[in-house]
Structure 1
């Protein structure tokens, strides 16, 4: 751990991965409940309850809650699912894409909401679970269901138009990409963005507090205000990235499903 030592002896130790290791407050061992696990449960409840309530009594002139729910649905349906899977086969996958987008969005936004203040996707286990246990099985299953195992493997590893002399190398590369690299990179994208953004905000916030309270140099105290201003600016930037990463995860997931269903891939 790198520490910043100032002239008067005060030492600032920047936060690291330990900021993401939150102790359990209920139980012990693998099933212990800590803050990230609790936030995932809360996010699940928020998404489920919100859509159930918003769609319970639909009106021609929508309420604000119904309008937001319909906007999220239309965006997931037309801008993500339909555009990536195609107009013929996209409808069965709308609920999945909508659930992925809204669930990840809520978990990401927890990072800038007071009291919560932790983006749960900054813990690699959560995006990995969604990628490996949800998205990965779905797009392989629908492809195998449509074309059979042999036909699906041919579509993915040996599409039409590939010269025969490069086909073995191409097939090997595609095999590792489709079955190993793709699900991992899908998870790493959202994890890395949430981890880095949360860590940067912590550094600026704690750094500003340190310069204001732990140093006696009046020349450094104005710098603390600059650190806090940067923390605020980074929070707005992080909010944009949180929405963007939820969109990218859902978009790529729909894209993988579309590729699995496509005959000319």
Structure 2
């Protein structure tokens, strides 16, 4: 992380803080951009996360012993968390089981791609790039609308935008608000909450690393060099906080997914 900040701090013009442009490395295969897409570190990490998740849970579920191994125990705890705390509690006893595979996949996919930001040398959460968050939130957006239409037919759109029991004069105001809230604001906030949190945490750690390098290496004043220790302590604290937020955001993103599905299945809105 400090290595990424060196150019910003060694310009000779005083401390220059890192920018969002420094969060994303150049494409590994820049020539692929000529065909509509580049292949960068984040894309590679996203693909790697699929391999990691598939390998881990295949390994954890391989023996299925009555007395579970540590690996099997961790896998069962992860599955139980998603199944009971998110699926059953939010969607409800009657309908939750068929959505557990989706919620399970979403939770661990987001979790692994977030945790990358806490791993030395990698230190790049995939969802610090807006494109990843937009695509995932877009998939969930299409999914909950599809579930609602399958459950209620085309009348689902009326259920979403026309609150029941409201006097018709108020509907003139409420219907546009419901349309904007459900079909515009919801997918945007679902993606931005994940993206902005990951980018902000990543940027703060990058800023701390750049500040330490600037104070310790580029300053002759012993007092300023000593203050780099305080920056280091603060940076470590922010690093630990970011790691916690990575887990929380995976849970929140999956929780909201379950809430949207539950709303699509409900008889009234």
TM-score bin, normalised by smaller chain: over 0.9
Give the counterpart of 1:199 among 193, 203, 209. 203
Deviation at 1:130, TM superposition (A): 0.3
The CA deviation string for residues 24-78 of structure 1, in whole angstroms up to 9 with x for no partner, is 1224214332111111111111111211221122111111111111111111111
What aligned pairs does 1:96-175 form with structure 2 within 5 A after superposition? Answer: 96-132=102-138, 134-150=139-155, 152-175=156-179
1:14 matches 2:17: yes
3-state SS of the aligned residue for 1:216? coil
What aligned pairs does 1:239-250 form with structure 2 within 5 A after superposition? Answer: 239-250=243-254
Distance in 1 between residues matched to 2:211 and 2:80, nearest whole Å: 42
3-state SS of the aligned residue for 1:219? helix
Distance in 1 between residues matched to 2:101 and 2:166, nearest whole Å: 35
What aligned pairs does 1:56-75 form with structure 2 within 5 A after superposition? Answer: 56-75=62-81
Would you say the 8 A contact 1:10–1:214 is kept in 2? no
**CA RMSD between the two structures:** 1.6
Would you say the 8 A contact 1:142–1:261 is kept in 2? yes
Distance in 2 between residues matched to 1:4 and 1:112, nearest whole Å: 23
Distance in 2 between residues matched to 1:146 and 1:119, nearest whole Å: 36
> What's the TM-score, normalizing by structure 2?
0.92
Map of 2:229 onto structure 1? 225
Deviation at 1:10, TM superposition (A): 5.8
Structure 2 unmatched ranges of 5 or more: 1-7
Give the counterpart of 1:45 among 51, 67, 72. 51
Would you say the 8 A contact 1:24–1:33 is kept in 2? yes
Higher helix share: 2
Length, aligned pairs only: 258
> What's the TM-score, normalizing by structure 1?
0.93
Deviation at 1:164, TM superposition (A): 1.9
Would you say the 8 A contact 1:121–1:194 is kept in 2? yes
Distance in 2 between residues matched to 1:113 and 1:187, nearest whole Å: 23
Would you say the 8 A contact 1:36–1:120 is kept in 2? yes
Give the counterpart of 1:85 among 85, 88, 91. 91
The CA deviation string for residues 95-143 of structure 1, in whole angstroms up to 9 with x for no partner, is 11111111101111100101211011000000100011x2011110111
The worse-fitting range, judged by mean Cα deviation, of 18-27 and 105-114 is 18-27
